[in-house]
């Protein structure tokens, strides 16, 4: 089997480290591996599969002889360095939001629209974590009966804000238990024992940046420019795995029984829907793996051709790192590199 030279841009962050882990788990056929990060991290060592790698400073000259770049860097870094990687001959799979809505850049969830990767011009975008979780859960339902409208509430773990989000929840719980004041840095307010109904800045209509992603990205991935989404995003004091309450309105009725039948065989999905025995998706069960758990499936009693469900997924893995590695696997399978 042919092997490929890989670079991870942003290798020291939570998603970059998870990408490394998943490359190993899935036995991705790599040859050389280059770990790139900021100047601050350059010179440090990371171990992967028994070998130590020295982290290099990411510059425009970092991509010679690289076939695939997995980008786990922030928008400004991706915007600055992804074109340089493409110019050097690499394909960039970008986890930032920098190129997601660029009409020339495929936005891909492999289980949903993996064939879109064939249209890349050097960059393929990884969708937002909540978008990946929702659309993986909904894909088979959408194929059976086109989804026209979605009403969604997301309950997003602190790790969605990176390592600092996890540290802040830990520290606040400790301080509160000891009767000490809490420090607030990563979030707008105390997150321990609280929920915060804001992720990102608000627009003129009162919607946050995070809330608009599901509509904008969902339209592109589902190839449905008329898809309407009303979304509320909430940060919750959970370490890992995002949860979503989703109501869909479809062109024809999907009964709960039919939905369960479709989801039982859906790629990337695990049906966990036995409320009589208190079995339903929860963040604790979905963390550390790549399936999207779906349950609490029921008819929307307030509207026709409308269905309600609940899903959970690990936003660091399937919502970011695993999805990116899966895109790389599509490139290998289809000889697109």
Tens-digit pLDDT string for the chain (337 aa): 899 999 999 999 999 999 999 999 999 999 999 999 999 999 999 999 999 999 999 999 999 999 999 999 999 999 999 999 999 999 999 999 999 999 999 999 999 999 999 999 999 999 999 999 999 999 999 999 999 999 999 999 999 998 899 999 999 999 999 999 999 999 999 999 999 999 999 999 999 999 999 999 999 999 999 999 999 999 999 999 999 999 999 999 999 999 999 999 999 999 999 999 999 999 999 999 999 999 999 999 999 999 999 999 999 999 999 999 999 999 999 999 8
Q: Where do the domains of the chain lie?
A: 4-127+320-333, 131-315
Are 111 and 138 a contacting pair, CB within 8 Å?
no
Distance from chain centroid for Cα 81? 21
Candidates 71, 120, 231, 242; catalytic one = 242
Cβ-based burial of 226 (10 A; exposed 0-12, middle 13-18, buried ≥19) = exposed
Block residue for tokens 């929840």 = 169
Fold of 131-315: Dihydrodipicolinate Reductase; domain 2 (3.30.360)
Q: For Cα atoms 192, 151, 305, give the angle at the middle one, nearest 5 degrees.
A: 145
> What separation in angstroms does the CA of 132 have from each of 90, 167, 190, 221?
24, 25, 28, 10
Q: What's the pTM value of the predicted model, to 2 decimals? A: 0.97
Equal CATH topology for 4-127+320-333 and 131-315: no
Candidates 129, 231, 311, 312; catalytic one = 129
> What separation in angstroms does the CA of 286 have from each of 304, 313, 320?
31, 6, 14
> What separation in angstroms does the CA of 75 have from each of 33, 78, 80, 189, 191?
23, 5, 9, 25, 25
Architecture of the domain whose range is 4-127+320-333: 3-Layer(aba) Sandwich (3.40)
Determine whether 120 is an active site residue: no
Are 296 and 316 a contacting pair, CB within 8 Å?
no
Determine whether 233 is an active site residue: no
Backbone angles phi, psi at 187, to 5 degrees: -125, 170
């Amino acid at each position: 089997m042919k092997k490929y030279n890989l670079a991870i841009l942003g290798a020291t962050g939570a998603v970059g480290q998870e990408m490394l882990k998943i490359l190993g788990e899935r036995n991705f056929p790599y040859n050389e591996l280059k770990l790139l990060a900021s100047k601050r991290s350059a010179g440090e060592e990371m171990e992967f599969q028994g070998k130590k790698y020295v982290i290099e400073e990411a510059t425009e000259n970092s991509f010679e002889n690289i076939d695939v770049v997995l980008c786990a860097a922030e928008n400004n870094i991706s915007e600055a360095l992804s074109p340089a990687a493409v110019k050097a001959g690499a394909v960039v799979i970008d986890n930032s939001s920098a190129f997601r809505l660029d009409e020339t850049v495929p936005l891909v969830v492999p289980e949903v629209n993996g064939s879109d990767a064939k249209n890349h011009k050097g960059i393929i975008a990884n969708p937002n974590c909540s978008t990946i979780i929702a659309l993986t859960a909904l894909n088979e339902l959408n194929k059976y009966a086109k989804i026209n409208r979605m009403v969604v509430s997301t309950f997003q773990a602190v790790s969605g804000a990176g390592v600092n989000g996890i540290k802040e929840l830990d520290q606040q719980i400790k301080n509160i238990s000891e009767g000490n004041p809490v420090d607030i840095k990563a979030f707008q307010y105390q997150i321990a024992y609280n929920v915060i109904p804001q992720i990102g800045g608000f627009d003129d209509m009162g919607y946050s940046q995070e809330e608009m992603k599901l509509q904008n990205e969902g339209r592109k991935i589902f190839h449905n420019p008329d898809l309407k989404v009303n979304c509320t995003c909430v940060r919750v004091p959970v370490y890992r795995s995002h949860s979503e309450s989703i109501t869909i309105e479809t062109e024809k009725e999907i009964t709960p029984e039919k939905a369960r039948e479709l989801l039982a065989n859906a790629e990337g999905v695990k049906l966990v829907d036995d409320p009589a025995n208190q079995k339903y998706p929860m963040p604790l069960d979905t963390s550390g793996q790549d399936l999207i758990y779906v349950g609490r499936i029921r008819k929307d009693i307030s509207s026709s051709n409308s269905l309600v469900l609940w899903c959970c997924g690990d936003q660091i893995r399937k919502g970011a790192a695993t999805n990116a590695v899966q895109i790389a696997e599509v490139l290998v399978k289809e000889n697109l590199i």
